[in-house]
Amino acid sequence: MEFVILTGLSGAGKTNALHAMEDNGFYCVDNLPPLLLDTFYDLCENSTDNRMKRVAVVADARSGEMFAEIADVLQKAKLDGRRFKILFLDAKLDTLVIRYKETRRKHPLIGEMVSGSTEEAVELEDELMKAVREMADYVIDTTFMQPAQLKERVTTLFSGDIHDSLLVTFVSFGFKYGIPMEADLIFDVRCLPNPFYVPELKPLTGLDEAVVDYVMSFEVSRQFMQKLIDFIDFSIPLYKQEGKSEVVIGIGCTGGKHRSVTVARLLNTHLIERSQKSSTHHRDIWKA
138: β partners: 87
Beta-strand relationship, 167-174 and 246-253? parallel
How many CB atoms are located within 10 Å of the residue 253 CB? 29
> 232, exposed or middle or buried, with CB in 10 Å at 0-12, 13-18, 19+?
buried
At 67 the pLDDT is 77
| Whether residue 162 has pLDDT greater than 90 | no
User: Which helix (H) or strand (E) segment is 278 a member of?
Assistant: strand 278-282
3-state DSSP call for residue 169?
Answer: strand
At 187 the pLDDT is 98
| Whether residue 164 has pLDDT greater than 70 | no
| Whether residue 66 has pLDDT greater than 90 | no
* Beta carbons of 66 and 59 less than 8 angstroms apart: no
Q: What is the C-alpha separation between 262 and 268, in angstroms, rounded? A: 10
Task: Write the DSSP symbol of residue 198.
Answer: S
How many CB atoms are located within 10 Å of the residue 134 CB? 10
Distances 210 to 21, 101, 195, 285 between C-alpha atoms, Å: 36, 43, 10, 16
At 74 the pLDDT is 92
Question: What would the pLDDT profile of 224-280 be if each residue is shown by its tens digit?
Answer: 999 999 999 999 999 999 888 999 999 999 999 999 999 999 999 999 999 999 999
In the chain, how long is the greatest CA-to-CA distance?
63
Question: What would the pLDDT profile of 24-62 be if each residue is shown by its tens digit?
Answer: 999 999 999 999 999 999 999 999 999 899 999 999 988
| Whether residue 180 has pLDDT greater than 70 | yes
> How big is the chain by its Cα radius of gyration, in Å?
20
* Beta carbons of 12 and 89 less than 8 angstroms apart: yes
